Amino acid sequence: MLSADALKIRNLGERTHPSPLDFSTRRGDGIGNFIFDETRVRSHVELLPGQKPRDDVLYEKAGPREMLYFRPERTKAALVTCGGLCPGINDVIRSMVLELYHHYEVTRILGIRFGFQGMNPDVAAPPFQLDPDFVENIHRNGGTVLGSSRGSQPVDKMVDFLQDEKVDILFCVGGDGTQKGAHEIWLEIERREAKIAVVGVPKTIDNDIPFVTKTFGYSTALEEARKVIDCAHMEAKGLRNGIGLVKVMGRDAGFIAAGATLASQEVNFTLIPEIPFELEGKDGFLEVLKKRLEERGHAVIVVAEGAGQHLFESAPTVRDASGNLKHNDIGQLLKEEILEYFQKTNFDAGLKYIDPSYIIRSVPANSDDRIFCNALARHSVHAGMAGKTDLLIGHCHDIFLHIPIPTAVSAKKRISPEGRLWMSVLETTGQPLFFGRKVVEEGPNEP
């Protein structure tokens, strides 16, 4: 259960410098407003019968503060991007630089190369200065102009780097592994009693970070995945008993698979990590797939990369540089099992397997993600200049929020089998509630 203490935001100290932003503290005067530091947002807006509203669990609202901790003309900021690629990273970098430079008049902005490696002098590529001219057109391309990497580096060396470079604010763009690293950096900063703010911008194409309605890149991923699914549908219809099998990203949560299913409207089976399934036996996936082909002559399957991992019980456990469990290839397994099943049952079927993951995550952001990236970036700058630290920018109820990093990385957001999203998937695909088993894996769920 979320507590009030879990949402308490750290501050470096008293804010004594007036903001250079031309905002107002009066409501109703037609001028954009500073956010009062005491402004709070309710954590829940829905009450079930008999429930009472909780007034003690409140988010701190994000936005520009009237008074700043850092004096703008003396401030130096640094940006680092970590983890896998995702549409919109360059948009975040660009909007951060423009907000710092043009609105806060912070002209010393350091671009750290290749993730946390860039903060370890033993392995680092030299950082470089960021300015409006450098970032002018970077949002037109996918990827990250700063480069990226997975895994952490010695925390003491990273904080030495920040102090040697006289950095006041470190902005960390990345997923849960990156944010855990950012928290460790903050703990070392705190131990040294240094005055350096650490602000996170949540990034994961999987959309599995709690306290963020959607992470940037997710909207673009759905759009690109939908195009692939539509092509798989055409491939399936072009064969006798044709099957289009598409694997999409989603290590621990099936948001891309579910969202792309709804965007396409051509999917017949969606398989996600949250709901295990059986292949064999009565009401198993293979039997249901065969019935679909007998009735309709084609089928489209979308599977998230983390689905069906229980089918690899004897496989060794392997982790990547960030400590994430490396999943076995469920797409390849499904392809082999489907073809073998139909061969054994003398059923004539053809299958086309498509894995567009690295293409989808490398494209430029679409309009929806660009708008969201811009807002996340600018809110992170507001937080950093106010001296707020060890936080990331959240987004709930269409309001931007400050979330302590330890709270944000304490769990992953997952699809609720009883929620609106999964119910919509079931209604769209027409697939059964379960394939051969009625066991679901629970976690912090979307509504």
Show which residues are catalytic. 206
Strands 76-81 and 40-42: unpaired
Separation CA 101–CA 231 (nearest Å): 44
Place of tokens 């579910």: 258
* Sheet containing 58-61, strands listed edge to edge, beginning at the edge strand earlier in sequence: 40-42, 58-61, 399-404, 391-396, 197-202, 169-174, 76-81, 108-111, 128-129
Cβ–Cβ under 8 Å, residues 123 and 240:
no
Cα three-residue angle 150-153-157, rounded to 5 degrees: 150
Decide: residue 167, CB within 10 A, 0-12 exposed, 13-18 middle, 19+ buried: buried
Burial label for 348, CB within 10 Å (0-12, 13-18, 19+), is exposed
Q: Kindly tell me the burial class for residue 14, based on how many C-beta atoms sit within 10 Å of its own C-beta (0-12, 13-18, 19 or more).
A: exposed
The encoded tokens of residue 217 equal 């890149």
Q: What is the CA radius of gyration of the chain?
A: 24
Beta pairing, strands 391-396 & 399-404: antiparallel
Query: Which amino acid, one-letter code, is at 126?
Result: P
Q: Where are the beta strands (DSSP E) in 47-178?
A: 58-61, 67-68, 76-81, 108-111, 128-129, 169-174
Q: Angle at the Cα of 357 (from 269 to 379), degrees rounded to 5?
A: 105
